[in-house]
Amino acid sequence: MLGSAYRVQLLPAWQGEACDLLIALHARRSAASIADWVRMAPGRPLVVVLTGTDLYRDIQVDRQAQAALRSADALVVLQEDGLLALPPAVRSRARVIYQSGNLRQTLPKSPRHLRAIMVGHLRSEKSPQTLFAAARLLRERPDIRIDHIGAALDPALGAQARATQAGCPAYRWLGALPHPDTLRRIQRAHLLVLTSAMEGGAHVILEAVRSGTPVLASDVPGNRGMLGAQYAGYFPCADARALAGLMVRARDEPAFRDRLGRQCAARDRLFEPAREQRALHGLVAELLA
């Protein structure tokens, strides 16, 4: 993202190299590096980029994460609702910079069935249990098929995924796949499903939008900040019945799926690489001026 005009350290942990500015990823996970920077490079700018666990958990309870917020010259959130999660005292130092991805061709989709795809490692923050339960509710709808990509970071959730696959022929857990393979599957899917309980600005949403694939997403702040308050594809967090109902509606009502597609297309410009690059360069130039 940044050219050689700046000596910028862009790592989760600062390693002590000489640089003009530090961009720290995660308030809590980079807290020690942030404290070292403040001590060893006084007066040099610090940017902290905040993720979902930062915004919706850590900065409420973790003292080191809170100290990182106070130390930052600028804060970056990855979607517009992220600003509301910040303490009022630091909001004036925050800005939204959407992550970006390349525009990808929309690939042909089968007319014989609806293919929904979920991309996310199996861990509690992603609430994969919601997808498992929705798959069980859809057992009588063989025209709705669900692919699930992600490693079992929680072995118990992996066991649940295997049990769901055994009992629901239309559900397939594919495990972790290389990123290019995942992108092609997103391009071919009718829908991307995101069941997360906590999101800071899911990259997979922008990958779906930039591939022409509509999204069904849990109604949590991080997803609303990516797709907009008026988006029609939200379901209440952890509500498997509501998710299943939206998948049925998308299969049975092509006009509904088309509406989701138009709403996603209206957000596409937010995720253009040139837009992200301008915002990041502008932030760095402002802090180093």
At residue 101, does pLDDT exceed 80?
A: yes
Give the pLDDT confidence score for residue 9 in this predicted structure. Answer: 46
- The mean pLDDT value of the chain amounts to 93
Give the pLDDT confidence score for residue 1 in this predicted structure. Answer: 39
pLDDT level of residue 5 (50, 70, 90 thresholds) = very low
Calculate what percentage of the chain has a pLDDT beyond 90.
89
Tokens representing residue 258 in the block: 């088309």
Q: How far apart are CA 209 and CA 197, in angstroms?
A: 20
Residue scoring higher pLDDT (108 or 208): 208
For 206, the enclosing helix (H) or strand (E) is: helix 203-209
Buried b (16+ CB within 10 A) or exposed e, 101-111: beebeeeebee
Give the pLDDT confidence score for residue 7 in this predicted structure. Answer: 41
At residue 55, does pLDDT exceed 90?
A: yes
Q: How far apart are CA 240 and CA 95, in angstroms?
A: 34
Give the pLDDT confidence score for residue 16 in this predicted structure. Answer: 53
At residue 139, does pLDDT exceed 60?
A: yes
Overall average pLDDT of the 155-182 stretch: 97
pLDDT level of residue 19 (50, 70, 90 thresholds) = confident
Q: What is the CATH number of domain 114-270?
A: 3.40.50.2000
Give the pLDDT confidence score for residue 3 in this predicted structure. Answer: 34
Overall average pLDDT of the 146-171 stretch: 97
Q: Quick check: 245 and 216 in contact, CB under 8 A? A: no
Q: Quick check: 223 and 234 in contact, CB under 8 A? A: yes
Digit-coded pLDDT (tens) for 207-265? 999 999 999 999 999 999 999 999 999 999 999 999 999 999 999 999 999 999 999 99
Domain extents in the chain:
8-99+272-288, 114-270
* DSSP 8-class letter at 110: -
pTM here is 0.90
How distant is the alpha carbon of residue 195 from its chain centre? 11
Digit-coded pLDDT (tens) for 235-248? 999 999 999 999 99
Give the pLDDT confidence score for residue 15 in this predicted structure. Answer: 52
At residue 86, does pLDDT exceed 70?
A: yes
Give the pLDDT confidence score for residue 61 in this predicted structure. Answer: 93
Q: How far apart are CA 212 and CA 195, in angstroms?
A: 19
Digit-coded pLDDT (tens) for 140-151? 999 999 999 999
